[in-house]
């Protein structure tokens, strides 16, 4: 991935497994967000391969096609509809994947209703379902957005610093939510909060200057001398 000749990601060999909470960490400017951009089709890699479930070549696809293959991204800036209720927000997200015909049908069917109810439960917003999304607390808005991403039934979810600005309690709840979500799909998360990564990671990849510096469990990467030198040494211990 190049920006006018500058290689933001360089020779990165990277794999995400199913049912895994996979964190990407690394110093500012390491290329973490760029990696998510390339995976979701927001940016195009100039070289290399990008495959999904061994069948799809994502490099040739648009953002929309990639979403339809089962990769959904939650961006750093929230993109909920503040004027609509929590329920309506989830409803819209669910219908984004459907055909125009079913969107035009006035009523949700029973399966849809069930799905919406389960999601409200999962993200802990059942009591807020008829409130305007704009009235939610910061953490709740993030959970709603994660819920909206999951309503699209992705096999891979991409999250960029999902707990930024959250209280300790909200962080823990978000971690639990992510763990729950990863039971049925892979979650790839960029995060700076090492306590959080330590608690919830199955796999950690450390990026530095566009490359993969180390990969493994949090303990393994913490022991890595290069990782300590460029990143963790300053933050953990």
Contacting residues toward ligand ATP, per CB under 6 A: 3, 8, 26, 28-34
Find which of ligand ATP, Mg ion, none residue 28 binds, CB within 5 to 8 Å per kind. Answer: ligand ATP
How far, in Å, are 56, 139, 205 from residue 74 at the CA level? 21, 14, 19
Interaction pattern, residues 51-90, with Mg ion; x per rule: CB under 5 A: ----------------------------------------
User: In angstroms, rounded to a whole number, what is the distance separating the alpha carbons of residues 64 and 61?
Assistant: 8
Please state whether beta strands 211-216 and 203-208 pair in parallel, antiparallel, or not at all (unpaired). Answer: antiparallel
Angle of helix 110-122 relative to helix 138-150, nearest 10 degrees?
A: 140
3-state secondary structure of 227: helix
Shortest spacing between CB 40 and ligand ATP, in angstroms: 13
Shortest spacing between CB 2 and Mg ion, in angstroms: 17
Binding to Mg ion (CB under 5 A) within 183-212 occurs at none
Closest CA to 169 of 143, 202, 201: 143
Find which of ligand ATP, Mg ion, none residue 3 binds, CB within 5 to 8 Å per kind. Answer: ligand ATP
Interaction pattern, residues 2-41, with Mg ion; x per rule: CB under 5 A: -------------------------------x--------
For residues 30 and 151, which CB has a smaller minimum distance to ligand ATP in the complex? 30
Residue 222 in the binding site for Mg ion (CB under 5 A): no
Shortest spacing between CB 27 and ligand ATP, in angstroms: 7
User: In angstroms, rounded to a whole number, what is the distance separating the alpha carbons of residues 3 and 116?
Assistant: 41
User: In angstroms, rounded to a whole number, what is the distance separating the alpha carbons of residues 189 and 205?
Assistant: 10
Contact 212, 12 (CB under 8 A): yes
DSSP 234: G
Interaction pattern, residues 98-127, with Mg ion; x per rule: CB under 5 A: ------------------------------
Angle of helix 86-95 relative to helix 110-122, nearest 10 degrees?
A: 120
**Residues near Mg ion (CB under 5 A):** 33
């Amino acid at each position: 991935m190049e920006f006018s000749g500058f290689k933001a990601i360089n020779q990165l060999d990277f794999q995400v497994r199913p049912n895994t909470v996979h964190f990407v960490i690394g110093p500012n400017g390491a290329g973490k967000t760029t990696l998510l951009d390339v995976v979701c089709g927001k940016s195009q890699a100039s070289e290399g391969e990008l495959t999904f479930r061994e069948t799809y070549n994502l490099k040739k696809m648009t953002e929309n096609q990639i979403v339809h293959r089962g990769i959904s991204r939650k961006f750093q800036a929230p993109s909920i509809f503040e004027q609509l209720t929590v329920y309506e927000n989830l409803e819209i997200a669910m219908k984004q994947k459907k055909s125009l015909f079913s969107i035009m049908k006035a009523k949700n069917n029973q399966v849809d209703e069930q799905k919406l109810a389960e999601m409200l439960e999962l993200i802990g917003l059942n009591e807020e379902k008829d409130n305007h999304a704009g009235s939610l607390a910061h953490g709740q808005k993030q959970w709603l957005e994660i819920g909206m991403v999951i309503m699209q039934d992705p096999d891979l979810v991409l999250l960029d610093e999902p707990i930024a600005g959250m209280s300790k309690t909200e962080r823990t709840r978000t971690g639990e939510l992510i763990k729950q979500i990863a039971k049925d799909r892979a979650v790839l998360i960029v995060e700076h909060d090492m306590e959080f990564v330590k608690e919830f990671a199955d796999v950690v990849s450390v990026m530095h200057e566009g490359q993969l510096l180390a990969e493994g469990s949090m303990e393994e990467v913490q022991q890595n001398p290069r990782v300590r030198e460029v990143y963790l040494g300053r933050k953990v211990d």
